[in-house]
């Protein structure tokens, strides 16, 4: 490469520009983010998935663009924490360009947010997404009327097929090159314009406000925001508010403004839609069936039963294959390693412990694949809609159901997702109750015990556990709101997404994102815990008698509390180590019982009765959250108080449930 060529290349590389993506919930923001950046953020088919901003980057024509995916919002009037994240980020004025994503089949609802961004004065691109689905329904959209009226680029895209990607990149590049872009201005009726001019003139005389909103003093955003949402978030001085009220009838002006805005948006959207398309489709019929108050609940229970049945039937052959592989590996190592303690560490500790968890990988990935199908297809938001009526009796809204479903994967993102709940008291009650949502780390324990004691009714027992988990979250929330947090009833509004056939790519991302934690934990915390448990089991008598080991001493401390449940020190020790991560319960048993997964089944059958095994399943379902969940509770509640409460609360509840299940189970089993 010559020096001249090198010089030319260096000169064509521009500085980094920042773009943010915003839009209503469930319009395809994260799909567009993935399309532009090539990343693999999971895209769910319901609102509230993006509760915090995600950041990525891409290059186009030698220029690097930083891309920020903001949570879904309907307006910049922030109430919940995720809405506040979006508003604060946009008001901070760090994004050079803002992409507003709208749904081609629900264009009108996105226009209110678009207007607010134009009023702020940022460089704006309107992306009308999902045009492929609009075409399927016969809807044809012409973007030029919106583009000409508002003087902004309008691009038709499909984040699913990649349509419109190049046009969007080109428009973003053009805007990033324009340094002296004329700010767009919406022309309001004379009365509104007079108010805006008066507001801007007066506000400049208040240094505190001028300083706080220095970037927006000349824009119409501040007076229009005041007119539309009031002064609560703006912290305007009382004398300034008095002056405004003396010169204008604010309530009357607000009504006139809203009327004008609704009419203007309605005209703008209707002028852009050349053909409306069909209103009634198979998807609409399915909507009516799946959201029926009785039939819908039956379908939901059947769907979960089908998922668990398929999980057990499809995964067992693969699980058996993995178990055989680990048994072969253990036998091979025994032949080559002649030092007794090292052989015991590798075979009885590492392979038995870590392998005992890894054999459940097929069940875990298959379960998440089918749950991902339900979620990605748009079915689970409808389940949330159905559950709303039931959840309301427990002081929660259907939105909480989404957090519970997330909790089936992992309690940590489930607790973080409560940021979408505006009512702080409901949110706290839910945070403290979500550890009862049966996370996937508990799944290996369920599968192990169900396979050992209830193999002929595996799917039924699993369904019972998960439904009990949901019921426990609801009852706990009601209890906490009644005696601790005193919450109020709140309305639940959800915009149901359209039914979509899930893409294999998105299902793969979903399954991998949920399941990979097992592989990561196997190489980290489970391996470390396995070695620690082996040490405690091997010493102080060098493996001659595990009944007099340190592990036995630890487990025996709790025997007075668990003997009547049929749990001896071996069961107790596994539960103690499971506090770090629930998968460790299985690896602990594999090490303590000194067997592989297949033999562990028989070992547990000799150690437990069916009733004590069922009590153990329900205890694991409810007891102490893992360390990561406790840390998240501490972070989301700004202190250790509620994390410590959760530790004690869940332990007491789990113990009570285990006793109840053992008593009732003893009658029937």
50 carries a ligand binding annotation: yes
Query: What pLDDT, on the 0 to 100 scale, is given for residue 290?
Result: 82
With vertex at residue 194, the alpha carbon angle to CA 191 and CA 200, rounded to the nearest 5 degrees, is 140
Rounded distance, CA 214 to CA 210, Å? Answer: 5
pLDDT of residue 6: 34
The residues, any chain, with a CB within 8 Å of residue 572's CB and separated by 6 or more, are 554, 555, 556, 557, 558, 559, 562
Top-ranked range on mean pLDDT: pick from 4-18, 22-36, 375-389, 390-404: 22-36
Which of 125, 130, 124, 86 lies closest to 107, judged by CA? 130
List 54's β-bridge partners, or say none.
Answer: 69
**Residue the block writes with tokens 């009658």:** 667
Specify the range with the lowest mean pLDDT, choosing from 362-366, 430-434, 448-452: 362-366
Per residue in 161-191, pLDDT (tens digit) is 889 999 999 999 998 888 765 556 778 888 8
Q: Does the annotation list 71 as a binding residue? A: yes
Of these ranges, 90-94, 347-351, 531-535, the one predicted with the greatest mean pLDDT is 531-535
Alpha helix ranges (H) inside 434-524: 443-453, 458-480, 504-522
Q: Is 540 known as a binding-site position?
A: no
Residue 10 assigned to a binding site: no
Q: Is 255 annotated as belonging to a binding site?
A: no
Sequence-ordered list of residues with C-beta below 8 angstroms from that of 558, at least 6 positions apart, any chain: 569, 572, 576
pLDDT digits (tens, 9 = 90+) for 560-611: 999 999 999 999 999 998 888 888 898 888 888 876 555 788 889 999 999 9
pLDDT at 155 over 80: yes
Angle at 623 between CA 640 and CA 393, to 5 degrees: 85
Are the C-beta atoms of residues 66 and 55 closer than 8 Å to each other? yes
Give the pLDDT confidence of 465-503 residue by residue, as tens digits: 999 999 999 999 888 887 765 545 545 555 566 677 777
56 assigned ligand-binding residue: no
Q: Any known ligand binding at 639? A: no
Q: Are 641 and 596 in contact (CB under 8 A)?
A: no
Q: Is there a binding annotation on residue 129?
A: yes
Q: Which carries the bigger pLDDT value, residue 69 or residue 617? A: 617
Is residue 220 a contact partner of residue 201, using CB atoms and an 8 Å limit? no
| 37 among annotated binding-site residues | yes
Mean pLDDT of 639-650: 92
**CB–CB of 94/121 below 8 Å?**
no
Is 24 annotated as contributing to ligand binding?
Answer: yes
Interatomic CA distance for residues 599 and 331, integer angstroms = 14
496 vs 210: CA distance, rounded Å: 41
More confident residue, 47 or 668: 668
Strand partners, 251: none
72 is in an annotated binding site: yes
Pick from 359, 506, 382: nearest CA to 445: 359
Order of strands, sheet of 54-60, starting from the edge strand that comes earlier in the sequence: 54-60, 63-69, 17-23, 97-103, 123-129, 154-156
| Residue 3: per-residue pLDDT | 39
Annotated binding residue at 48? yes
- Residue 353 has φ and ψ, to the nearest 5°, of -75, -60
Q: What is the CATH code for 17-177?
A: 3.40.50.300
Residue 631: other Cβ atoms inside 10 A: 14
Domains of the chain, by residue range, sit at 17-177, 190-275, 296-484+502-668
pLDDT grade, residue 45 (50/70/90)? Answer: very low
Binding residue per annotation — 473? no
Question: Token pair for residue 598?
Answer: 């297949």
Tell me the percentage of the chain whose pLDDT exceeds 70. 88
pLDDT bucket at 80, cuts 50 / 70 / 90: low
Degrees (nearest 5) of the Cα angle 648, 569, 665? 70
**Residue 130 annotated as lining a ligand binding site:** yes
């Amino acid at each position: 490469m010559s020096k001249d060529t090198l010089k030319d290349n260096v000169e064509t590389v521009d500085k980094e520009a920042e773009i943010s993506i915003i839009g209503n919930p469930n319009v395809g923001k994260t799909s567009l983010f993935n399309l532009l950046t090539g990343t693999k953020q999971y895209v769910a088919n319901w609102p509230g998935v993006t509760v915090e901003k995600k950041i990525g980057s891409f290059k186009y024509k030698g220029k690097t663009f930083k891309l920020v995916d903001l949570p879904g919002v309907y307006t910049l009037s922030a109430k919940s924490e995720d809405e506040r994240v979006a508003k604060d980020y946009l008001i901070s004025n760090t994004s050079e360009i803002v992409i507003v994503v709208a749904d081609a089949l629900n264009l009108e609802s996105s226009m209110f947010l678009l207007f607010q961004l134009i009023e702020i004065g940022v460089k704006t691109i309107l992306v009308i997404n999902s045009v492929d689905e609009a075409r399927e329904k016969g809807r044809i959209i012409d973007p030029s009327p919106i583009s000409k009226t508002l003087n902004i680029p309008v691009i038709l895209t499909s984040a699913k097929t990649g349509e419109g990607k190049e046009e969007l990149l080109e428009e973003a590049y053009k805007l990033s090159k324009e340094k002296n872009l004329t700010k767009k201005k919406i022309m309001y009726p004379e009365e509104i314009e007079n108010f805006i001019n008066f507001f801007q003139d007066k506000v400049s005389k208040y240094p505190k406000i001028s300083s706080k909103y220095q970037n927006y003093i000349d824009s119409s955003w501040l007076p229009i925001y005041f007119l539309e949402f009031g002064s609560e978030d703006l912290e305007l001085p009382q004398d300034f508010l008095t002056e405004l009220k003396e010169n204008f009838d604010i309530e009357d002006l607000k009504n006139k403004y809203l009327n004008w805005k609704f009419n203007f948006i309605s005209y703008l959207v209707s002028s852009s839609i050349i053909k409306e398309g069909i209103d009634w489709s198979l998807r609409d019929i399915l909507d009516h069936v799946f959201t029926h108050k009785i039939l819908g609940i039956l379908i939901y229970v059947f769907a979960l039963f089908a998922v668990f049945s398929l999980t057990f039937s499809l995964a067992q052959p693969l699980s058996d294959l993995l178990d055989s592989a680990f048994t072969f590996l253990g036998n091979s190592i025994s032949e080559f390693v002649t030092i007794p303690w090292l052989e015991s560490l590798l075979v009885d500790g590492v392979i038995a412990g870590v392998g005992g968890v890894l054999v459940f990988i097929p069940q875990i990935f298959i379960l998440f694949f089918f749950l991902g199908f339900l979620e990605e297809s748009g079915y689970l938001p409808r389940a949330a809609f159905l559950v709303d009526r039931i959840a309301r009796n427990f002081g929660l809204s259907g939105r909480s159901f989404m957090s519970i479903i997330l909790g089936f994967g992992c309690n940590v993102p489930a607790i973080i997702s409560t940021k979408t709940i505006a009512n702080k008291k409901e949110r706290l009650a839910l945070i403290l109750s979500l550890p009862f949502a049966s996370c996937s780390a508990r799944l290996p324990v369920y599968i192990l015990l169900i396979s050992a004691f209830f193999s002929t009714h595996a799917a039924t027992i699993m369904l019972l556990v998960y439904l009990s988990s949901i019921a426990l979250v609801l009852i706990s929330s009601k209890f906490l709101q009644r005696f601790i947090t005193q919450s109020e009833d709140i309305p639940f509004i959800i915009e149901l997404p359209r039914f979509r056939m899930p893409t294999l790519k998105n299902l793969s991302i979903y399954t991998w994102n949920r399941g990979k934690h097992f592989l990561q934990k196997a190489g980290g915390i489970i391996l470390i815990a396995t070695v620690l448990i082996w040490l405690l089991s091997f010493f102080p008598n060098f493996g001659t008698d595990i009944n007099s080991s340190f592990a036995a001493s630890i487990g025996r401390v709790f025997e007075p509390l668990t003997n009547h449940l049929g749990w001896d020190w071996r069961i107790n020790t596994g539960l103690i180590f499971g506090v770090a991560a629930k998968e460790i319960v299985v690896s602990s048993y594999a090490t303590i019982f000194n067997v592989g997964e297949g033999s562990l089944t028989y070992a547990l059958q000799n150690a437990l009765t069916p009733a004590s095994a069922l009590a153990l399943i329900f205890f694991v379902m409810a007891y102490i959250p893992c360390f990561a969940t406790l840390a998240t509770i501490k972070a989301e509640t700004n202190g250790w108080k509620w994390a410590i409460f959760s530790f004690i609360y869940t332990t007491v509840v789990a113990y009570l449930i285990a006793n109840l299940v053992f008593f009732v189970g003893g009658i029937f089993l």
